[in-house]
Amino acid sequence: MKRYLCFMIMIFVLILAGCSHEHQWADATCVEPKTCIECGETEGEALGHQWVEATCTEAKHCSRCGETEGVPLEHDWEEATCTEAKHCRICGYADGDPLGHDWADATHEAPKTCKRCGETEGTVLLYDVPAGFTKEYEFGEFSKFNSNASENGLGGTMIWLNGSYENVSTLDISADLGRKMNAFISVLTDQEGNQWLVQIDLDYYTSIEKYSNLCGHSLCILCEYQGFSGVYEMPAVIVEKIYDMNTGNIIEPEWYASM
Ligand SMILES: [Zn+2]
Ligand SMILES: [Zn+2]
Ligand SMILES: [Zn+2]
Ligand SMILES: [Zn+2]
């Protein structure tokens, strides 16, 4: 009987000890709830994976435990161009370098042009002014002509200018001449950025198109200095001949052709 009692007490102590042990909790993980490492008791739920979607270089994976699912996506390649390297349309990863332009030299008809993408640089190859073209003329040094001609006596001086103009307009001078006449005028900007009032033609019947076609071209203009225009506040000239360095053409006004 004494032995039995002892046994019962031992069992009782064991049960007591079993019930009152301090759980040694291991934190919950993606797949296991919070668990006592001694008795296996659990509390709560597993956390579940924190999935990060697959990218070109990484498979879908859990940001907490690193578990993966499937394989990385493949790069979706966009082939290299002149200015962009071969690169992935999804992640932008670049492989290698841009191809660089494949330039064809400028010609008289086309500027320097990439044979691959058509990009252009600069202008068409200009023609040189023919030798002797300016021989009878003096260079139109702006500072010399940018004053009143009647004072400096330069009116009628034959000069040449290099530059370009952006548009041509007509000036009705019928009232002055007593018959139907237009003057074509334009503002030429020379290589130093100075502006000259250029009177191109006096013929009402000449197409303005001929001179409009020269807009934006590099021109060498032979002309006669008319004096300083107080109205336009720039030196005025009348065109004798235009050499178009873009086309190599020489344009001559048809002076009073229909008179
Ligand atoms: Zn426990
Ligand atoms: Zn996980
Ligand atoms: Zn990619
Ligand atoms: Zn190119």
Query: Over the stretch 46-90, which tens digit does the pLDDT of each residue have?
Result: 999 999 999 999 999 999 999 999 999 999 999 999 999 999 999
What region, left, alpha or beta, does residue 58 occupy, with left being phi > 0 and alpha being psi -120 to 50 degrees?
Answer: beta
Rounded to the nearest whole angstrom, what is the distance from the C-alpha of residue 14 to the centroid of ligand 1? 14
User: Based on the domain organization, do 233 and 193 belong to the same domain?
Assistant: yes
Which tokens go with 36?
């006592």
* Residues listed for the chain: 259
For residue 80, what are its two tokens? Answer: 């290299």
- Say if residues 75 and 93 touch (Cβ distance below 8 Å): yes
Would you say residue 106 lies in a domain? yes
Q: What is the pLDDT of residue 183?
A: 81
Between CA 34 and CA 51 the distance in angstroms is 20
User: 24: which 2 tokens?
Assistant: 């040694």
The SS3 call for residue 194 is coil
Domain that holds residue 153: 138-251
Residues 240 and 172 in one domain: yes
User: 239 - beta bridge partners?
Assistant: 223
59 within a domain of the structure (yes/no): no
Same domain for 184 and 225, yes or no, is yes
Domain for residue 154, yes or no? yes
Q: How many domains does the chain have?
A: 2
37 is written with which tokens? 């490492």
Q: Which DSSP helix (H) or strand (E) runs through 135?
A: none
Do 78 and 165 fall within a single domain?
A: no
Could you tell me if residue 51 is inside a domain? no
Between the CA of 22 and the centroid of ligand 3 the distance, in Å, is 52
155 and 208: one domain?
Answer: yes
Do 176 and 201 meet the contact criterion of CB atoms below 8 Å apart? no
pLDDT at 258: 46
Residues 149 and 218 grouped into a single domain: yes
Residue 233 domain-assigned (yes or no): yes
Q: Check residue 179 and give its pLDDT.
A: 75
Q: Are residues 167 and 218 in the same domain?
A: yes
Tell me how far apart the alpha carbons of residues 125 and 139 are, in angstroms, rounded to a whole number.
Answer: 23
Ion ligand 4 neighbours (CB, 5 A) are 82, 101, 114, 116-117, 119
Residues 167 and 239 in one domain: yes
Tell me, yes or no, whether 222 and 142 share the same domain.
yes
**Two tokens at 10?**
């031992």
Cα 80 to ligand 3 centre (Å): 14
Same domain, 247 and 183: yes
Q: Does one domain contain both 150 and 118?
A: no
- Measure the CA–CA gap between 189 and 232, rounded to whole angstroms: 14
Distance 10 CA to ligand 1 centre (A): 20
Q: Is residue 84 a contact partner of residue 98, using CB atoms and an 8 Å limit?
A: yes
Encoded amino acid at 164, one letter: S
Residues 90 and 168 in one domain: no
In a domain, 48, yes or no: no
CA separation, residue 94 to residues 4, 57, 72, 83, 216 (Å): 83, 13, 17, 12, 41
**Rounded Cα distance, 77 and 166, in Å:** 46
**Two tokens at 49?**
């994976």
Closest ligand to 17 CA?
1
pLDDT of residue 8: 63
Q: Is 149 part of any domain?
A: yes
In the three-class reduction of DSSP (H, G, I as helix; E, B as strand; rest coil), residue 138 is classed as strand
**Ligand 1 centroid distance, CA of 15 (Å):** 13
**Contact between residue 65 and residue 30 where contact means Cβ atoms under 8 Å apart:** yes
Query: 162, 188 in Cβ contact below 8 A?
Result: no
- Identify whether the C-beta of residue 182 lies closer than 8 Å to the C-beta of residue 168: no
Q: What is the CATH number of the domain that holds 143?
A: 2.40.50.140
DSSP code for 235 = E
Residue 105 placed within a domain: yes
The pLDDT, as a whole number, for residue 15 is 53
Q: Which ligand is nearest to the CA of 103?
A: 4
pLDDT per residue of the chain (259 residues) written in tens, 0 to 9: 566 666 666 555 555 555 578 999 999 999 999 999 999 999 999 999 999 999 999 999 999 999 999 999 999 999 999 999 999 999 999 999 999 999 999 999 899 999 999 999 998 899 999 999 999 999 999 999 987 766 678 989 999 999 999 999 988 877 777 777 778 899 999 999 999 999 987 776 667 888 999 999 999 999 999 998 888 899 999 999 999 999 999 998 775 544 4
